[in-house]
Structure 1
Amino acid sequence: MRTIFITGASAGLGKATARLFQSRGWRVIATMRNPEKETELNKLENVTLLPLDVTNTQQVHATVKAANELAAIDVVFNNAGYGLIGPLEIYTEDQIRRQMETNFFGVIWVTQAFIPYFKTRKRGLFITTSSICGLASYPLSSIYHASKWAIEGWSESISYDLAVFNIGVKTVAPGGIQSNYMNVMDVAHDPAYDALQRKLGEGFTDGTLMEFSDPLELSEVVYEAATDNKDQLRYLAGKDAVRTYANRMETGAEVYRTQLKKYLQLESPYESV
């Protein structure tokens, strides 16, 4: 029986992935900050819940040690994360640091803790939830984007390093996810950006900019990445992610940015220079 270790398994893509892998005969070690509050995964056969706050390095090492004592881990799915939404100038230092600590450094700490185990076994696979926001951009989420772009660059670089030890590295980049996403967002509001926020909301609501997919549908992409044995770094998840990335690659980064600014009715700051 193969085993997957999942972070951020209490909701959304993490929980859907845990359920999918369990249904297909995998042992699942599902981690979350408050496993005592979980009422669904704890009822499933071959699912073990462990506590994990990915920003707590002591707990990371303790939980990884416990997981490896329970089973030989085949796949680590770095999924824990959330979105910080709003303009940069009104974020607090704590909000900015917490975003990077969770979305980026949390992935680093978990991966770093697992590498020695995978090196001993001479095999293993890391899959990390990135985002279409790590491959293309939207307004009013600059630090969130920074965390996801960092994940993409880091993943590509470390994929070379770990290939020496037959350890794989992959990312799954979803678009919109139908879940309790508002509960895992930190929203900072400034009325000066209301017009931009409204136009952005329109694009998310009517599907022009983003379509929200069922997390179970997106978890199929995680399963594909875990089982297809392909030397492939990046997996797009959701029609909106596929469409947006294809547009950016086809038109180029500058044209993509110009098109989005036009849609959002943003003028160039250089026209009056």
Structure 2
Amino acid sequence: MAKTVFITGASRGFGKLWAEALLQRGDKVVATARDLSALDDLVTKYGDNILPLQLNVNDREADFAAITKAKQHFGSIDVLINNAGYGLFGTVEETTEQQAREQMETNFFGLLWLTQAVLPVMREQGHGHIIQLSSVLGLVTLPVLGLYNASKFAVEGLSETLAAEVKGFGINVTLIEPNGFATDWSGASALQTEAMPAYDAVRAAFQEGVSGDIWGVPEATTPAVLQLIDAENPPLRLFLGNQGYPWVKQVYQGRYAEWDNWNEVSTAAHGK
């Protein structure tokens, strides 16, 4: 059965790939972008099955208006994919206030506003699926991506809480956690801080760590996302790629070892 899917950041990368895959199989898609011309090819090819909307997700009022327009146009919103976001590369000390705030505005607050906007629609329907594009960096971290890490950790906490709150309304929540993929996330879409020489060695180590054949093929994610959308009981978390799960497992094993080593101190701190 065809679904109506609202997807942000559909002008490029994962957003456009997934939007086109949904349209190809007959779903209806509300595709948002800051530059609507990036969606002209999809409009020409798929006609009335796509509703292109110009949207800056940082604008809460515009987010609510976009959800209202989508509901009025197609009659329902079965799936929301909060895909819009970007990477900010730079150490914590290098990051300006404006850069930090803008990173959180797009990656976290934009997602929050659209989530809030769609919930009344999905509650009224008695069903829905909210898919949040997080990252493996919402579970573990890399240096030189501190604010990006923080934004995705925030998405993780918000969405896990949300899942418990809305399950009784028939609404599912899934966090998609990709590892690195060969999109322009680290290229044209990314921002850079002004480098401080004191961190040159940190940057060099980072570049060395992300070099080589670790990048996934973006097109290969499409079957997994379609399967997720069609799942009767979708998972709360879904890794994309073969790098994330073993990395997270290794890091968490180290965390458990450290917690165990300090557990006596932790327990004593309870006071009784």
* TM-score bucket (shorter structure): 0.7 to 0.9
Q: TM-score, normalised by structure 2?
A: 0.88
Q: Does residue 114 of structure 1 match 2:118?
A: yes
User: How many Å apart are 1:59 and its aligned residue?
Assistant: 1.0
Q: Does residue 184 of structure 1 match 2:213?
A: no
Q: In 2, Cα distance between the equivalents of 1:248 and 1:220?
A: 28
Q: Tell me what 2:61 maps to.
A: 58
Conserved 8 A contact 1:99-1:143: yes
1:36-74 CA-to-partner distances (Å, cap 9, x unmatched) read 343432223122211111101121111111111111111
Q: Does residue 105 of structure 1 match 2:109?
A: yes
Q: In 1, Cα distance between the equivalents of 2:92 and 2:102?
A: 14
Q: In 2, Cα distance between the equivalents of 1:133 and 1:98?
A: 18
Q: Which moved more, 1:73-82 or 1:180-189?
A: 180-189
Q: In 2, Cα distance between the equivalents of 1:238 and 1:103?
A: 21
Task: Map 1:126-141 to 2 at 5 A.
Answer: 126-141=130-145
Task: Map 1:202-213 to 2 at 5 A.
Answer: 202-207=208-213, 211-213=214-216
Q: Tell me what 2:89 maps to.
A: 85
Q: In 2, Cα distance between the equivalents of 1:50 and 1:103?
A: 19
Conserved 8 A contact 2:181-2:215: yes
Q: In 2, Cα distance between the equivalents of 1:111 and 1:162?
A: 11
Q: In 1, Cα distance between the equivalents of 2:255 and 2:12?
A: 33
Q: In 1, Cα distance between the equivalents of 2:206 and 2:128?
A: 40
User: How many Å apart are 1:222 and its aligned residue?
Assistant: 2.1
Aligned residues: 252
Q: In 1, Cα distance between the equivalents of 2:122 and 2:39?
A: 29
User: How many Å apart are 1:33 and its aligned residue?
Assistant: 1.0
Q: TM-score, normalised by structure 1?
A: 0.88
Q: In 2, Cα distance between the equivalents of 1:22 and 1:6?
A: 12
Q: Which of 127, 134, 150 is the aligned partner of 1:146?
A: 150
Q: Which moved more, 1:217-226 or 1:81-90?
A: 217-226
Task: Map 1:1-273 to 2 at 5 A.
Answer: 1-45=2-46, 46-71=49-74, 72-181=76-185, 182-188=187-193, 189-207=195-213, 211-249=214-252, 251-253=253-255
Identity of aligned residues (%): 35
SS in 2 for 1:236: strand
Q: For structure 2, which runs of at least 5 residues remain unmatched after alignment?
A: 259-272
Q: In 2, Cα distance between the equivalents of 1:12 and 1:243?
A: 25
Give the aligned CA root-mean-square deviation in angstroms.
Answer: 1.6
The one-letter amino acid of 1:252's match is G
The one-letter amino acid of 1:201's match is Q
Q: Which moved more, 1:218-227 or 1:151-160?
A: 218-227
Q: Which moved more, 1:91-100 or 1:185-194?
A: 185-194
The one-letter amino acid of 1:92's match is T
SS in 1 for 2:80: strand
Q: In 1, Cα distance between the equivalents of 2:152 and 2:177?
A: 9
Q: In 2, Cα distance between the equivalents of 1:178 and 1:128?
A: 20
The one-letter amino acid of 1:198's match is A
